[in-house]
Chains A and B, each alone.
Chain A
Amino acid sequence: MSNMIETKELIFEYKGNEEENVVAVKNLSLTVKEGEFLVVLGHNGSGKSTLAKLINAILLPSGGKVYVNNMDTSNEEMIWNIRQKAGMVFQNPDNQIVATIVEEDVAFGPENLGIDPAKIRKRVDEALKSVGIYELRRKPPHLLSGGQKQRVAIAGVLAMRPQCIIFDEPTAMLDPSGRKEVMDTIKKLNKEGITIIHITHFMEEAVNADRVIVMDDGKIALEGNPKEVFSRVNKLKELGLDVPQVTLLAHELINEGIEIPEDILTVDEMVSRLCQLL
């Protein structure tokens, strides 16, 4: 499988208004394979969002390189191709919607690509169906729920036919049911072959990922599959993060001398382990 995203010794420095500059990404090398579901965790200020913006060429590296499908993001001529390949969905649904009708909003991207109207129609319908809001296509976005609005934003990205979508805390402002709608959509898109980079604070959203990286101070502090990462309970706490309650319980029981695997992530796993013990 080829690489969807590749960063090589990537550095990014925010220029402060006084003499103080902040280095948000420090020498970061990361490869994301085509079709992978990568979750990026980290506390506020760890450099997650900066990394996302670097992949989408919203920010350009201060040092090192970012390649999206082998295209160098610092090559200005490729910028539109890069953004078409790697779309981005942000935290606040209200900041991403430009039109007054759902389907017009979804059509905004392809229209700007100068695509033939009949083809735009087809793309928009497909995108809306894919995220499950086709029946809302003629509604004004402000009448939708947060989860629905976020799916409009995802449909808008899908209409660009991307191979990769970067989600920057797409569920942070949603209630539990909206969060579930968005997560189900993300998982479905990944099954259909779209590479996913999902940035989040909700640990339970990382449980289904192929790989998890935890960022701290602009660097990768932990990396592995969800079980490997979440079994490092103490390290995660040190980094200001949570683990799912059952993982924490497993950790606490191990400390008391109970023999139980430390990489339990779900309630059902815990139930079957405890049933053997009790």
Chain B
Amino acid sequence: MSIIVENLTHVYNAKSPFETVALSDINFTIETGEFVGLIGHTGSGKSTLIQHLNGLLKPTTGKIYVNDFNINDKNLKLTEIRKKVGLVFQYPEYQLFEETVYKEVAFGPTNLGLSDWEINNRVKEALNLVGLKFGDIKDRSPFELSGGQRRRIAIAGVIAMKPEVLILDEPTAGLDPRGRDEILNQIKALHSKYKLTVILVSHSMEDIAKLVDKIIVMDKGKIALIGTPREIFSQVEILEQIGLGIPQITQLVRKLRDKGINIREDILTVEEAKKEILDLVREKKNA
């Protein structure tokens, strides 16, 4: 499912003293099956942007096409778009409200008017996909579970809608390293297994570097950079100007190059760095 954004501008509280331009002249395309990272400061417009992609916000000017549907089209049923584009908000565990995990995850599919059999299947599959055991957990109250489990249930609720695009706004904020890795691995599995298009908003450059095909960097309501992780993380000056970091390992490589060591510049992960350094050490030994 592809997404095309053309000249998107969004103004909050237009023509009032509180007028704020949150997005200005945004253009990009996301292809079917792409895994996209969206990074930027708090207040850079990330959340405003993703709320446009499933029609929660309407552009002040500009166009958005989700699989050839024009979101501005008055005849378009927005429920159709929202079925296809699932949005997981920040701290989604605070949005749980049902008395059992089953009812919680079934809420969306039930509203789609699906059969009980289909709903049951979807709940089972969604819980399974987020790493929870259906039998153990379906009758428990979401409120007696841990924060990490509650967050996974919230994500399962969106997955049970079988979206073609999954947008997650900082899904790992506040989790411990193990909880973070579990959720990221499950998102990765969803992406590769179901060819879902995924848009991940994150502050962690290390996570972004590991996972995504393409990065969109936002700054002050505009797109500052767009490209592959290697392209983006080589633009250190611009990233620093915006106040964003680069993965620690990329910092290391840059500093080594500054010292005159001839190491590849576009290294993003510990694995790659290890391989490069080992090669250099061996070269030196053989020299």
- Tell me the A residues contacting B by CB distance below 8 Å: 42-45, 91, 145-146, 169, 172-173, 175-178, 201, 240-242, 244-246, 248-249, 252-253, 256, 258, 267-268, 270-271, 274-275, 277-278
Q: Which residue of B lies closest to A46 (CB)?
A: B176
A-facing residues in B239-273 (Cβ within 8 Å): 243-245, 247-249, 251-252, 255-256, 259, 261, 270, 273
User: Is B261 within 8 A of A245, CB to CB?
Assistant: no
Cα distance A157–B224 in the bound complex, in angstroms:
39
CB-CB < 8 A to A241: which residues of B? 176-178
- In the complex, chain B residues whose CB is within 8 Å of the CB of A274: 256, 261, 277
- B14 contacts chain A at the CB level, 8 A cutoff: no
**Which residues of chain A come closer than 8 Å to B244, judged between CB atoms?**
176
A275 near B273 (CB under 8 angstroms)? no
| A44-B179, A240-B177 known; A176+B247 contact, CB < 8 A | no
Number of chain B residues close to chain A: CB under 8 A: 35
B270 to A256, Cβ gap below 8 A? Answer: no
**CB atoms of B176 and A249 under 8 A apart:** no
Q: Distance (Å) between the CB of A277 and the closest chain B CB?
A: 6
Q: What's the least CB distance linking B142 to chain A, in Å?
A: 16
Residues of B within 8 A of A177 (CB): 41-42, 243
Distance in Å from the Cβ of B220 to the closest Cβ of chain A? 14
Is B57's CB within 8 Å of the partner chain A? no
Q: Which residue of A lies closest to B170 (CB)?
A: A175
| A-B residue pair count with CB separations less than 8 angstroms | 94
CB-based contact A256/B274 at 8 Å: yes
CA distance A227 to B36 in the complex (A): 36
- Tell me which residues across on chain B come within 8 A of A240, comparing CB atoms: 176-178
- Is B163 located at the chain interface by the 8 A CB criterion? no
Which of B176, B243, B278, B284 gathers most chain A CB within 10 Å? B176
Beyond A43-B177, A258-B278, whether A249 also contacts B243 by CB under 8 A is: no
User: CA of A270 to CA of B179 in the docked complex: distance in angstroms?
Assistant: 28
Closest chain B residue to A260, Cβ basis: B277
Nearest Cβ on chain B to A272's Cβ, whole angstroms: 9
- Bound Cα distance A43, B252 (Å): 28
Q: How far is the CA of A271 from the CA of B42 in the complex (A)?
A: 31
Given contacts A176-B244, A256-B278, contact A249 B249 (CB under 8 A): yes
A173→B261 contact, CB < 8 A:
no
Which A residues are in CB contact (< 8 Å) with B203?
A: 175-176
The 5 closest A-B pairs by CB, nearest first: A240-B178, A245-B248, A242-B177, A175-B42, A43-B176
Contacts of A267 in B (CB 8 A): 248, 251-252, 255
Shortest distance in angstroms between B172's beta carbon and chain A's nearest beta carbon? 10
Known contacts A145-B42, A245-B206; A173/B174 CB under 8 A: yes
| Cα separation A23 to B129 with both chains bound (whole Å) | 31
For B40, the closest partner residue in chain A by CB is: A175
CB–CB A278/B249 < 8 A: no
Distance in angstroms between the alpha carbons of A275 and B256 in the assembled complex: 7
B147 in the interface (beta carbon within 8 A):
yes
Nearest CB on A from B87, distance (A): 20
Interface assignment of B189: CB less than 8 Å from any CB of chain A: no
Q: Does B33 contact A (CB under 8 A)?
A: no
Q: Does B11 sit at the interface, judged by CB under 8 A?
A: no
CB 8 Å contact bits of B120-134 with A (1 = contact, 0 = none): 000000000000000
Q: Does B280 contact A (CB under 8 A)?
A: yes
Known contacts A244-B248, A278-B280; decide if A44 and B147 are in contact (CB<8 Å): yes
B148, B173, B243, B259: the one within 8 Å of A271 (CB): B259
Q: Which of A173, A201, A246, A274: most chain B Cβ within 10 A?
A: A274
Q: Are A252 and B259 in contact (CB under 8 A)?
A: no
| CB-defined contacts of A253 to chain B, threshold 8 Å | 274, 277-278
* 11 additional A-B residue pairs with CB within 8 Å, beyond A44-B178, A275-B259, A278-B281: A43-B178, A43-B179, A45-B146, A146-B42, A175-B41, A245-B206, A249-B252, A253-B277, A256-B274, A258-B278, A278-B280
Q: Which residues of B sit under 8 angstroms from A173, Cβ to Cβ?
A: 173-174
CB distance from B206 to the nearest CB of A (A): 7
How far is B248's CA from A268's CA once the two chains are assembled, in angstroms? 11
Task: Name the distance in Å between A39's Cβ and chain B's nearest Cβ.
Answer: 14
> Given contacts A245-B248, A271-B252, A275-B261, are A252 and B274 in contact (CB under 8 A)?
yes
> With A175-B203, A249-B274, A271-B256 in contact, is A44–B148 under 8 Å at CB?
yes
B175 interface residue per 8 A CB criterion: yes
In the complex, which residues of chain B have a beta carbon less than 8 angstroms from the beta carbon of A244?
248
